[in-house]
Amino acid sequence: MDTNKESAISIPLHISFMPVVFLITALMFTVIIFKDATTAGPAQVVLISAGFLTALLAVMKGQKWQPIEQSIITSISDVMQACLILLLIGMVIGTWILSGVVPTIIYWGLKIITPSLFLFTACIISAFISLATGSSWSTAGTIGVALMGIASAAGIPLGLAAGAIISGAYFGDKMSPFSETTNLAPSMSGTELFTHIKHMTYTTIPGITIALILFLIIGFTQNIGSFDQNKISMISNIISSKFDISLYILSVPIITFIIIIKKVPAIPALFISILLAITCALIFQKTVILEMIQNKEVGYITASYKVIITTLSKGFNLKSGNEIVDKLLNKGGMYAMLQTIWLILSAMFFAGAMSGSGMLHSIVMAIIKKAQSTRSIITATLLTAIITNILAAEQYLSIVITGRMYQDIYKEKNLHPKNLSRALEDAGTLTSPLVPWNTCGSYMSTTLGVSTLSYLPFAFLNLIVPVISFVYGLIGLTIEKINNEEKEEQQEISPHPPQQGA
């Protein structure tokens, strides 16, 4: 979606806002009426309807259908890699349970982590893994699933637990030199990677510090969960009776994270992790495989094949005789990700219609025209990234569109491009999981098993950092100008966005 190009037909601003108002109003009403509106279907209907309303208004103003349709197709094609990654993440979750990785982490986590320190610990662990791998998605889809299992067993509210995991995961995603968004933002603004990372510390370090303090306060002052020893013993005994929970099982995630750190592309890295988990399951989890097979007369090879294929496609499914354990472990598979993919495609339909009709361009340009002073430019950048996250439903588009829109303005005002790249991440990267129909929001909701609105109030890092960035813009703190020598150097840096990954 290239919003730099003027639409053939200029759409008035008040008309451009109509689909947005309809979308927000309809989604709010839908969430009230339906318990699970974000992935179960109602939100998808609203997004498609909003897309058709956008197209209808544009056609009534003289726009042709063909460019709108082409923009929709292009928009959907832009997220095909993300959809493939989602399917693979579903397979990873299923095989990590079958191989004993998730059960092992839950088993030992219940013995080590206390409820009062769980939120703090979950945030720290997620931050370190995401910082090492550069991927919030991989972090949530692996260690995040295990941490949610621990939270569920301990009676910790799942929205709180997901908020802690997402805060940590997005800290690493934002600060890691291996992260796609961390590379994309400076390439869009025209600055260097480590200059960008250093400049982000002024907003992100205070943000994660405040978040960790809040998680500690909640953990020690609120009765968020308790480790009922009888309940924990029962869960631990069932897990240990079904699975080999020896620590060598953790070689699967360790090797996986090493592969990702070595910058193996997301899709092959995830597939390698799946193969590792399957190998581990075949060697160490024969008891589970034989118990899962319904036909006891078949041989181990046939049973293994059927269980593995079923786990990859529909997820892990074992009747342990205990409802709590079944709820903890019976998940994953490609099928579990289909509703999320459905939501993403519906969101891209709306985003493509907004872009192809010129309405997104009209809204963004209206914001830009109001930006004259440094504080208004920073504020406008943050707002544009957030609005694009809502309308375009994709964090990469939020960074690319906003970066392209404001790059020249920052140059004209002699604002260092690292101010732009930081604002792109502070608002574009961090608010993406807070939008239910955004690719990141729908992914986190599906993977962690809680609605976006449940974890949104507790994703403290994602809420706090944009506010810090806004305050800095208002008072001019850490907002740096660029001198002539630096300006000449920056002109040599051309924006080439990297390949999108997990």
SS3 string of 478-492?
Answer: CCCECCHHHHHHHCC
Residue 18 tokens read as: 């109509």
Residue 279 tokens read as: 């190998």
Which pLDDT value is given to residue 502?
A: 47
Which pLDDT value is given to residue 389?
A: 87
Residue 36 tokens read as: 């699970």
Tens digits of residue pLDDT in 439-453: 899 889 988 989 898
For residues 244 and 97, what is the distance between their CA atoms, to the nearest angstrom?
Answer: 11
Look-up of token digits 């459905």 = 342
Residue 444 tokens read as: 């986190």
For residues 143 and 104, what is the distance between their CA atoms, to the nearest angstrom?
Answer: 11
Which pLDDT value is given to residue 496?
A: 45
Look-up of token digits 């997004």 = 47
Which pLDDT value is given to residue 420?
A: 94
Which pLDDT value is given to residue 457?
A: 95
Which pLDDT value is given to residue 489?
A: 55
Look-up of token digits 């005789």 = 321
Per-residue pLDDT of the chain (502 residues; tens, 9 = 90+): 444 444 456 788 889 989 988 987 887 787 777 765 555 678 788 889 999 999 999 999 888 999 999 999 988 887 787 788 878 888 988 999 999 988 898 888 877 878 888 999 999 999 988 887 778 888 888 889 889 988 888 888 999 999 999 999 999 889 987 777 888 888 878 888 888 999 999 999 999 999 999 999 998 887 665 556 677 788 888 888 889 989 899 899 889 888 877 778 878 888 999 999 999 999 999 888 888 876 666 677 888 898 999 999 999 998 877 777 887 788 889 998 888 788 778 888 988 898 889 888 887 777 777 777 888 899 989 998 998 888 877 787 788 778 877 887 888 888 899 999 999 999 999 999 999 888 899 889 988 989 898 999 999 999 999 999 999 999 989 888 876 555 555 555 444 444 444 4
C-alpha 149: how far from chain center: 19
Residue pair 76/345 in contact by the 8 Å Cβ criterion: yes
Residue pair 351/391 in contact by the 8 Å Cβ criterion: yes
- The residue among 230, 227, 225, 241 whose CA lies nearest residue 112 is 227
Q: What is the tally of helices (H) and strands (E) in the chain? A: 27, 0
Alpha helices in 315-459 (DSSP H): 323-329, 338-357, 359-369, 374-391, 395-412, 417-423, 430-431, 439-448, 452-455
Q: Which helix (H) or strand (E) holds 187?
A: helix 180-189
Residue 314 tokens read as: 């529909």
> What does pTM read for this prediction?
0.74
For residues 445 and 356, what is the distance between their CA atoms, to the nearest angstrom?
Answer: 29
Look-up of token digits 């592309």 = 265
SS3 299: coil
Residue pair 94/315 in contact by the 8 Å Cβ criterion: yes
